[in-house]
Amino acid sequence: MAETAYDPKTLLPLTPAAFHIMLVLTDGENHGYAIMREVAENTQGKMRLGPGSLYGTIKRMLADGWIEEADERPDPQLDDERRRYYRLTSVGRKLVQAEAERLEQLVSIARGKKLLRTPRSV
């Protein structure tokens, strides 16, 4: 997808797999197995991406221009040279932010309907 002016909200909602992968990549470049582990950790094991689901989603996100493969690689002595590292594009960053805002609005509505408690201030 070329970086032209567009409203990322037209691409919402994201699939849960795409959203979780993009959340992981918000912190920086990562490879597939690490993405799978972090998604499981972030969701306390409630969401587990298998290889087919993970790499199928990554393939679509690459084609759509939401993520890209990183050019730089860690030292082969320190890492498996077969690993591919991915990062968010600027389009992907706008998109994951738009999805987070959409979900935040839904949570606000649920709180207003007393389905969820308001979190305590820390």
Q: What percent of the chain has pLDDT over 90?
A: 77
Query: Over the stretch 46-93, which tens digit does the pLDDT of each residue have?
Result: 999 999 999 999 999 999 999 999 987 665 566 667 789 999 999 999
Residue type for position 52: G
* Res. 5 pLDDT band, cuts 50 70 90: low
pLDDT surpasses 70 at 101: yes
Q: What percent of the chain has pLDDT over 70?
A: 88
Q: What is the model's pLDDT at position 4?
A: 52
* Res. 1 pLDDT band, cuts 50 70 90: very low
Q: Does domain 12-112 have CATH number 1.10.10.10?
A: yes
What token pair was written down for 76?
Answer: 């082969």
Which pairs with CB-CB distance under 8 Å and at least 24 residues apart come from 28-33? 28/87, 29/70, 29/85, 29/86, 29/87, 30/85, 30/86, 30/87, 31/83, 31/84, 31/85, 31/86, 32/58, 32/83, 32/84, 32/86, 33/83
H or E stretch covering 76 = none
What token pair was written down for 114?
Answer: 């007393």
pLDDT averaged over the chain?
A: 90
Query: Over the stretch 16-27, which tens digit does the pLDDT of each residue have?
Result: 999 999 999 999
Q: Tokens 């320190």 sit at which residue?
A: 78
Q: What is the model's pLDDT at position 75?
A: 59
Please answer whether residues 68 and 5 qualify as being in contact, where contact means their C-beta atoms are separated by less than 8 angstroms: no
